């Protein structure tokens, strides 16, 4: 087998480096889907996880409305037809405290979910 001249990169090592870099890029892009928020507030993470599970990107506007209604999450009026705003309340089981988020769902021209935003809000009193 002929040896490579000095200074010529070893193809197998170069291939491994390229494969590693490609894998890292795929992981970063795949782990954070476009349109899905990543929240830093640990108390909002359960809300984020629930939305990721039940309302993936591409869900219809009707599916989102049905889910919010079934969970009794109040919806607020929006001045945009392609937007649904809801208040989602979750009980932090570690602290036994309620956590409320205002979630704005954005839809494309075909009524498919393209992204949403989660913002922590003040807790309303629990309805009696």
pLDDT per position as a tens digit, 113-122? 999 999 988 7
Q: Are 117 and 105 in contact (CB under 8 A)?
A: no
- Determine whether 88 is exposed, middle or buried from the number of CB atoms within 10 Å of its CB (0-12, 13-18, 19+): buried
pTM beyond 0.75, yes or no: no
The DSSP code for 20 is: H
Confidence class of residue 24 from pLDDT cuts 50, 70 and 90? very low
Residue 28: pLDDT over 50: no
Residue 82: pLDDT over 80: yes
Mean pLDDT of 40-59: 91
Residue 126: pLDDT over 50: yes
Of the candidates 64, 124, 60, 72, the one whose C-alpha atom is nearest the C-alpha of residue 98 is: 124
Helix, strand, coil in percent for the chain, rounding step 5: 30, 25, 40
Q: Which of 5-9, 23-27, 124-128 has the lowest mean pLDDT?
A: 23-27
Angle subtended at Cα 123 by Cα 119 and Cα 126, rounded to the nearest 5 degrees: 135
């Amino acid at each position: 087998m002929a040896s490579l001249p000095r200074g010529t990169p070893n193809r197998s090592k170069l291939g491994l480096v390229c494969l590693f870099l490609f894998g890292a890029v795929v992981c970063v892009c795949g782990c954070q889907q476009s349109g899905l928020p990543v929240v830093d507030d640990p108390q909002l993470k359960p809300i984020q996880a629930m939305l990721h599970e039940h309302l993936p990107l591409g869900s219809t506007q009707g599916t989102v409305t049905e889910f919010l209604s079934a969970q009794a999450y109040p919806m607020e009026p929006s001045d945009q037809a392609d937007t649904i705003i809801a208040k989602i309340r979750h009980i932090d089981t570690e602290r036994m405290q309620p956590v409320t988020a205002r979630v704005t769902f954005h839809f494309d021209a075909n009524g498919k979910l393209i992204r949403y935003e989660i913002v922590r809000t003040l807790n309303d009193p629990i309805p009696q």
